[in-house]
A and B are shown apart, each in its own frame.
Chain A
Amino acid sequence: MQLNRILIASITLLIISTSSLFSQTTSVPSEAKNKTAPFLFTPETIKTGEQIFNANCKSCHGDPGKANYAKLNPIPKDPASPEYQKNSDGEMFYILSNGRGLMPNFVNTLNEAQRWQVISYIRSFNKSYKQPPIKSTGEVVKTETAKMILAFDKSEKKVFATITDSVAGLRKPLPDITIKLFVKRTFGSLLVAEASTGKEGIAYFNTPADIPGDSLGFLSLIAKTQGNSKELISTLNEKLGVVTKPKNLLDQRAWWNVNKMAPVWLIISYLFGVVGIGITVVYILLQLRKIKKINDSAT
């Protein structure tokens, strides 16, 4: 009896502890909590947000307010629910960026503007919501005339980005802007380096030397500025990667290849079998001929 009780108690404990493992609320850092959107939510941002939501979130969360979420454990929360709407914009942004429990992160899938657009769509289900005033986060590109150029410094052997702004016809460097450098891969972009621009508006990146490139060693690089309304993007194709010769699986003899490229041992075994049986049958036929000959000569 006692053993049973202990067993039940431990199973209950186990269930509680595992379920809490999935549903635990990730603590959101306070500075992230207070983060605000860099733009005002408008019917346009809501509409774009809806499209992004339908493409990336709906499969689990369903339609906001309709409770038709996927049957997962724990259940994906309804973003339109009052419970969820209690989160601040910054908290929502943090969860959306970093993921939580079973929910994946979207930091490399959606850019910042897109993430905020999703939040603007989710907030549209909350009638009592009032967007907090937009806070300036400091080092962001605020002007429409800013430009970023990504290039390769041959003497330093480093990739660098230059951000300038056009002021009265002159190009003025923009310092202290954080840039993320990605390498284009087959499925999405891989973050490889992060750097901030100096006084000259230049940021140097320390890129790893062992990234697989194409057959000539070229990498497709993408630089993106972060934390701003106007996202600057610049790309560069440079011979920075490891030369990777794509391996064609059809170049080798294999089960899955065409007849001509069959494994040698298989061809030999098959022919051995067929020829072996053939020789035996011919031998038997010759024996029969012998019998006939014996009798023909006798008569």
Chain B
Amino acid sequence: MAESQTNIQQDSTVDNLIKDLFRTVRLNKGFNIWMGFLSVSLVICLYAYYIQLRDGLGVAGIRDYVSWGIYISNFVFFVATSLVGMLVSGVVGLSGQKWVTPLTRIAEIIAVAFAAVAGLVIVSDMGRPERLVNVFIHGRVQSPILWDVTVVTTYFLISLLLLYITLIPDLAYGKDHLEGRPKLLQKLYDILSLGWKGRKAEVKILKKSTIVMLILIIPVALSIHTVTSWLFAVTLRPGWDSSIFGPYFVSGAFVSGLSCLVIAMYFFRKNYKLEDYITDFHFDKVAKLLVLVSLVYLYFNLNEFLVPGYKMKKFDAVHLRELLAGEHALLFWSVQGLGLIIPIILLLIKPFRKPLPMLIIGIFVLAGSWLKRYIIVVPVQEHPFLPIQHEPSNFMVYSPTLIEILISIAPIIMVLMIISVLAKLFPIIPVWETVVHKGLIKDETEIENNNHI
């Protein structure tokens, strides 16, 4: 008698929980206004791209010497930020940190959005985008560009698949909790849920598949940013010619990805009223993780600048002087100070690990991350080995044009659109996993797994 009563009680709490988490899956006025605003902005940016297509890359500030401008900086930033999916779901998730559950879907959605758009960002740097297919037809297996195309595409597909797998049980819940939502959405849930019933055999398969994906995503994610760093590091240019560029980029990617996650956490918590699920405790944990990865990144920064700075080889010296004490010094020190060192110090203090201070710190770190990519990409090209002679001044010093800036904003808008749509179509907090972690449903496979271990 008592047993059946607790069962009923449990069922009602499960039901409440599911209802609560599916609350956000609806198209409301606010969402429509937000999407409308994004669409109008995107159209403006796409018009800028139309001008570039019509008149050529000359409308951007990139010239013969600085031929990689904010487009490539943007690309590196996008690839970097997409790594957060791997960090949160893969590294932290696989290590058995259960607190991370409510954040995994946000991280995976960020990863999918940034990885999907990263490829488009590269196209914006192409003068003849209609020849894109040549990259695949005539690509050389020796070229890091081909590796980059391969791994970025792969990472996008894997991230999408991972997002989908973890969604399957939620989709099944959704079938019963989407009254009043569009018929099309209900149909979509029905097809994608694969008829999930939560049987032991299904759970077992799903768990196994998720673990396989999480293991796979770690090397792929590491390789996307390592290969992106190699696009620079395999050249002889002082400032890029570095053997630690791979780990330097990967650690930097964790910093920018986590700061992006912090901002997303804050907005979803506030707008979707998820205070019960994304708590101060989660912010505290993510803050500590951000401090850890920032310290690792700082360590790589130290190596990257101190070691060549100690030797001051002829051409390195020109580059380092410009960066540390010359024309780019203000930007360089602002980025290192406001985007890395001060955030580390602040996040070590407990009151700063609360949501609002963390949002502000996150914005600074994210902006710093973007500008850091600019510092890595642009100043190096201003000092080629051969002296620049008899050139107009705009060939020597790079400054992005308005059109170029608009074109670079377009992918950011696209990312926001993808995140917004995905967060509206599907519950942003993994429902099934939350239910399981809260112990509301008995996980039969867990006992078996423990026996294995």
Interface string of A268-291 (1 = CB under 8 A from B): 001001100100110110011011
What is the chain B residue whose CB lies nearest that of A255?
B142
Given A266-B142, A277-B220, A291 contacting B202 (CB threshold 8 A): yes
Interface residues of B in 157-184 (CB under 8 A from A): 157-158, 161, 165, 168
Q: How far is the CA of A270 from the CA of B213 in the complex (A)?
A: 20
A3 at the interface (CB under 8 A from B): no
Cβ of B212 within 8 Å of any chain A Cβ, yes or no, is yes
Q: Which of B45-53, B193-201, B370-378, B398-406 contacts A (4 or more CB under 8 A)?
A: B193-201
Contact A296 B141, CB 8 Å, known A280-B212, A290-B205, A291-B202: no
- Interface residue count on the B side (C-beta < 8 Å): 29
- Say whether B270 faces chain A, with CB atoms less than 8 Å apart: no
Binds B, one of A103-111, A146-154, A238-246, A257-265: A257-265
Instruction: List B contacts of A250 (CB < 8 A).
Output: none
Q: For A296, list chain B residues within 8 Å (CB).
A: 195
Asked if B140 is an interface residue, CB under 8 A from chain A, the answer is yes
Nearest A residue to B140 via CB reads A259
Asked if B216 and A291 sit within 8 Å, CB to CB, the answer is no
Q: Is A299 close to B, CB under 8 A? A: yes
B195 and A284 within 8 A (CB): no
The reply on A292 being an interface residue by CB < 8 A is yes
Q: Are B150 and A295 in contact (CB under 8 A)?
A: no
Contact A277:B213 (CB < 8 A) given known A255-B142, A292-B195 = no
A267: chain B residues at CB < 8 Å are: 141
0/1 per residue, B186-217, Cβ < 8 Å to A? 00000000111101011001101100110010
State whether A291 touches B196 (Cβ < 8 A): yes
Distance in angstroms between the alpha carbons of A60 and B199 in the assembled complex: 87
List the B side residues contacting A294 at CB < 8 Å. 199, 201-202
Q: Which residues of B contact A209 (CB under 8 A)?
A: none
Measured CB to CB, the nearest residue on chain A to B195 is A295
Q: Bound complex: CA of A7 vs CA of B81, how far in Å?
A: 56
Shortest distance between the CB of A79 and any CB in chain B (Å):
27
B146 to chain A, nearest CB (A): 8
Contact with B along A79-117 (1 / 0, CB 8 A): 000000000000000000000000000000000000000
The answer to whether B165 and A262 have CB atoms under 8 Å apart is no
Instruction: Indicate if A167 sits at the interface (CB-CB under 8 A).
Output: no
Q: Out of A255, A257, A287, A299, name the residue touching B195 (CB < 8 Å).
A: A299
Chain A proximity of B271: nearest CB distance (Å)? 32
Is A298's beta carbon under 8 Å from chain B? Answer: yes
CB < 8 Å neighbour of B165 from A258, A263, A288, A298: A288
| Contact across chains for A262 and B142 when beta carbons are under 8 A apart | yes
Contact with A along B255-295 (1 / 0, CB 8 A): 00000000000000000000000000000000000000000
A287 to B211, CA, bound (A): 12
Residues A287 and B205 in contact, CB atoms below 8 Å apart? yes
A108–B79 alpha-carbon span in the complex (Å): 58
- Whether A295 and B196, one on each chain, are in contact in the complex, defined by CB atoms closer than 8 angstroms, is yes
Inter-chain contact A284/B161, CB cutoff 8 Å? yes
Of the candidates B147, B206, B223, which one forms a contact with A291 in the assembled complex, judged by CB atoms under 8 Å apart?
Answer: B206
Whether B301 sits at the interface, judged by CB under 8 Å, is no
**In the complex, what distance in Å separates the CA atom of A255 from the CA atom of B139?**
13
Residue B242 interfacial (CB < 8 Å): no
Q: Does B420 contact A (CB under 8 A)?
A: no
B336 at the interface (CB under 8 A from A): no
Determine if A270 and B209 form an interchain contact, defined as CB atoms under 8 angstroms apart: no
Q: Is the CB of A298 within 8 A of B197?
A: yes
**B41 on the interface (CB 8 Å rule)?**
no
Instruction: Enumerate chain A residues within 8 angstroms of B168, measured Cβ to Cβ.
Output: 288, 291
Q: List the 5 closest pairs (A to B, CB-CB), nearest first.
A: A295-B195, A292-B194, A287-B209, A259-B140, A262-B141
The 9 listed contacts between A and B (C-beta, < 8 Å) are A259-B138, A259-B140, A267-B141, A270-B147, A273-B150, A273-B223, A280-B212, A281-B157, A284-B209
